[in-house]
Amino acid sequence: MKYSVLLLLLNFNFTFSQTSGRITYKAFFTKPEATEELRSKNILRYQESLDEEMMLKMLTFNLDFNNNESLFYLSQNLISEHENQSRKKYVTSLFYGFDKIYINKTKDELIEQLYYSSGSILKFRKANFIEWNITKKTKNIIGYKCYKATYTYIQKWRGREFPWKIIAWYTPEIPKQYGPIRYTGLPGTILQISEENRSFIATGIKFFNEEIKIKKPSDGKILE
């Protein structure tokens, strides 16, 4: 399976002429909380969950990329100022709406500009930190045939480890090894990613024949 996917990627490398692009993503909860079961148990929390799902529909994310770099960021926030501001901030931050995530695959560099109440921090690490498990499962996303890949990410916090199951759907038809948030390294572009209860799915792609410039995040305290 891996050999056939890599061969397909090589074929597209010869035919794919665009050097840069912008992929638009929408966010959604992998498992929506606003269920009928919750409604029967806690009507207040049910309504809050509905509000959060509605707010998510108002967020749009971009992944800009060229031959060597990519940048993932919130491009549009249409959540009304009349909405509950604390919940608006919660939903936006939960889906990395205040953050910028930069990848340079030539330098194997990942920079996360992360928002905190006290200010932004810059977190540096290698971009290719994932050993993906590629499967044979496929599905279509906005006209592209995508393959499923999985990985378990270990989030460390205050001496404890929290496993996050990551599910990616990537397409070799766009031979750029980029994707939403911090995920990369597959033989094609990730059009859908699920990270625990956070998911992003591509809704549109625009290609450019000329290379677009991507600004590396530089504001924030460097995390040692």
Estimate the crossing angle of helix 85-94 against helix 43-56, to 10 degrees: 60
| Closest CA relative to residue 70, chosen from 214, 194, 166, 171 | 214
**Pair of tokens at residue 223:** 């995390």
Domains detected in the chain: 2-222 (2.50.20)
pLDDT given for residue 187 in this prediction? 94
| Closest CA relative to residue 51, chosen from 97, 96, 82, 93 | 82
Quick check: 191 and 146 in contact, CB under 8 A? yes
What does the pLDDT profile of the chain (224 residues) look like in tens digits?
A: 444 444 444 444 434 556 899 999 999 999 988 888 888 888 999 898 888 999 999 999 999 999 999 999 999 998 888 788 888 899 999 999 999 999 999 999 999 999 887 788 999 999 988 999 999 999 999 999 999 999 998 877 777 888 889 999 999 999 999 999 999 999 999 999 999 899 999 999 999 988 889 999 988 888 75
pLDDT given for residue 114 in this prediction? 92
pLDDT given for residue 16 in this prediction? 52
pLDDT given for residue 6 in this prediction? 44
pLDDT given for residue 83 in this prediction? 83
| Closest CA relative to residue 27, chosen from 71, 87, 93, 84 | 93
